[in-house]
Structure 1
Amino acid sequence: MLVLSFSVLAEPTMPVIKIASLRLPATESGWTGNRDRIAALMEELHADVIVVQDVSQANGGSNPACWLGSRLKYSCDFISADRPSQPDRHGHAVLSRLTTLEDAVTLLHGDLAPSAAGMQRLELQRARLNLYAATMRPADNTPIARGHQAADLRSWMDATNDGLPSLIVGDFAAPTEELVRQLPGFQPARRNPSMRHGDARSRNGNDEHGMDVLYQVRSFADIRQQPIELPAGDSSEAQRLGGMATLRLTRAVPADANEEAQAAPQTP
């Protein structure tokens, strides 16, 4: 007979978060012809957060990622380095069904065309965590340019993380070994180098890492990774859209920790 101690029985269960990283079909016909099926697939997966890469928004037109967010009843935060006044904007989007406590945007410089990175402070079962979303693919795709973008991201995270558990969801041109060196303390959920849509092949002939979720090893435990694939339709082949990582928090900071600290009586 197994007997558990009171300390084990009383140990709280740490919250779990599911993060999906997607790239939607690039052509208008590919998107409009499959968007209902993609929405149904994502509704079934029930991710807490969905980060969508390579999002294009035409002036006066709909944003595919935000359409998906609206369909799923998720919030949508479109992150772009292009000015809102530009007729066509490109970037990535964060869709979330969690409560957002704070958000912010910065630029990552690596060449003449900086990219934008976003941060959302989320509440997960009363615990707080930071989710950073980035596209680190400088046009001048060299180790120096990639290093500049990584340095910008590290500096911004140091200034904004407030000591909370943090994740980075993005699309990375750097090879895996370089990426891990650039972002110390973070582990890729998908450990092998990857490429577009998950194929073991690089766009430029290099071992680029591709889309992934990087988690802070002192704050999260890796539970599961799974591909996100759209099954073949009547007139289309099966499509790899991205992947989803399921992670468990191992170091939680309550959402009301600062309020509790302020309310606690001070020792004279």
Structure 2
Amino acid sequence: MKNLKIIPLLIGLIFTLVACGNNKAASVGEPKVKTVNFQRKYKLKSVPTLFFHGALSNYRAETNITKAAKLIGITNSITRIDVSPDGKVKFIGTIKKNAINPIIEVNYKNNIQFDFAKAGMYATNVIKALKQKYGISQINVVAHSLGNMSVMYYLIQNYHKNMPKINKQVAIAGHFNGVALKQTLQNLRAPDNLKLSASGKPNKMNQAYKQMLILRKIYPQERTKVLNIVGDKGKASDGLVPNASSESLKYLLGSDSNNYQVKKYYGPKADHGRLTYNRQVIRDVINFLWR
């Protein structure tokens, strides 16, 4: 737990190193990464829920939520999928045929992937493999921090394709309009004096947010129910992401904002790296997904 306090500082350092080597914005195009074909085993009866972790992290960052769900009997299946830096998918464990609300913890071997299009392709490979192996047509997703970009770019890259629909989406500490670090790449940096209108529209948009504006057409078609979890440890920020950046997710839903809700948490336990350990957050995520 004490190491969580240094996560924002480490992320800042990583952002700085990346910025020194590459000042180009992430492309919405689909990068070439390896995919794996799987034989169909059986069709799952329950909608699986995928967990995507953030930068400098791994699947263990969300196990507080997944273990709580299993402990209270909501699920009887927790498995993992590892994704290599080149996008190759590896199943760790097998989902049983009669699994109840199966959970899949997604684990990125490259956990500092700031090319959002490639992060989207990582998610695509995972979901495509699940579709091939288990015949899924719907999924729920829970994402923390950088993991949210995998989800958003999955939606962009697979619009109008025969891919599983996102039924419910939980966004935790999402930096949709950037982070509050001056030394980051331009498409990662939150604009100065960022403010939102009543519709959630930001007064300024970074490059990544502009790319995601296409979601205003996609979300109304998908009808995804969205829960946005925002932390405020003081000064309208979770310590890394300004609340205005996280809450700008609302505008990306376009006319489908009726399927959107935001929950805000305050104090030290609302810190960017602590939100997935926050008991109130865990309770609210479980209620939203499976109540």
* TM-score bucket of the superposed structures, by smaller chain: 0.3 to 0.5
> TM-score, normalized by length of structure 1?
0.38
Using CA pairs under 8 Å that are at least 6 residues apart, name the structure with larger relative contact order, 1 or 2: 2
Structure whose residues are more often strand by fraction: 1
> TM-score, normalized by length of structure 2?
0.35
